[in-house]
């Protein structure tokens, strides 16, 4: 067992891990954060996506031991004070959630994408959104609503910026 400390959804945490554990294992088993889903376990489906130091990664392939000193955001850290985030609301409003298994990963990939744009939403095309989410597979909605959610969110933010909101 090795002790590691890192930031998890904004709080400093510590835990004991085995060297052969992956990040998804400690999130689900040690911290009971079961919003992070394991789909394929092979880095193909993106259901296990979390954000590590601003980057979306597959937690099923990320050694837990490498998380020492890093900043991790899971789906549980996206809503603040019981309020859904803008991204989550956009998913709800556009009917982008069906079975929900891919949703945490989709939301986190969207978050990494939007945060990286840092309010520079001009010329963001549907194709850019598709590329940003290409590592997340959905087997229910057929992607259309998910892509629409992100598009609507970007449009909303863009018009808020233009009107000085």
Residue 58 is a binding residue for another protein (CB under 8 A): yes
Beta carbon nearer to another protein, 84 or 117: 117
Secondary structure string (H, E, C) spanning the chain: CEEEEEEECCEEEEEEECCCCEHHHHHHHHCCCCCCCCCCCCCCCCCCEEEECCEEEECCCCEHHHHCCCEEECHHHCCECCECCHHHHHHHHCCCCCCCCCHHHHHHHHHHHHHHHCCCCCCCCHHHHHHHCCCCCCCCCCCHHHHHHHHHHHHHHHHHHHCCC
Q: Judged by CB under 8 A, which of 112, 114, 129, 154 binds another protein?
A: 112
Residue 13 is a binding residue for another protein (CB under 8 A): no
Beta carbon nearer to another protein, 95 or 142: 142
Beta carbon nearer to another protein, 20 or 83: 20
Residues interacting with another protein, by CB under 8 A? 19-20, 22, 41-44, 46, 49, 55-58, 61-63, 65-66, 109, 112, 130-132, 134-137
């Amino acid at each position: 067992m090795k002790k590691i400390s890192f930031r998890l959804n904004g709080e400093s945490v510590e835990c004991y891990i085995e060297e052969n554990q992956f990040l998804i294992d400690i999130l689900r088993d040690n911290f009971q954060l079961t919003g992070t889903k394991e789909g394929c376990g092979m880095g193909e489906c993106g259901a296990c996506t979390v954000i590590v130091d601003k980057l979306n990664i597959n937690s099923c392939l990320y050694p837990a031991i490498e998380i020492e000193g890093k900043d991790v955001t899971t789906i549980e850290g996206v809503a603040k004070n019981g309020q859904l985030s803008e991204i989550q609301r956009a998913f709800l409003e556009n009917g982008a959630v069906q079975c929900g298994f891919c949703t945490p990963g989709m939301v986190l990939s969207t978050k990494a994408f939007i945060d990286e744009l840092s309010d520079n939403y001009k010329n963001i095309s549907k194709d850019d959104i598709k590329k940003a989410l290409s590592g997340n597979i959905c087997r229910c909605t057929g992607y259309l609503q998910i892509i629409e959610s992100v598009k609507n969110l970007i449009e909303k933010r863009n018009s808020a910026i233009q009107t000085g909101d």
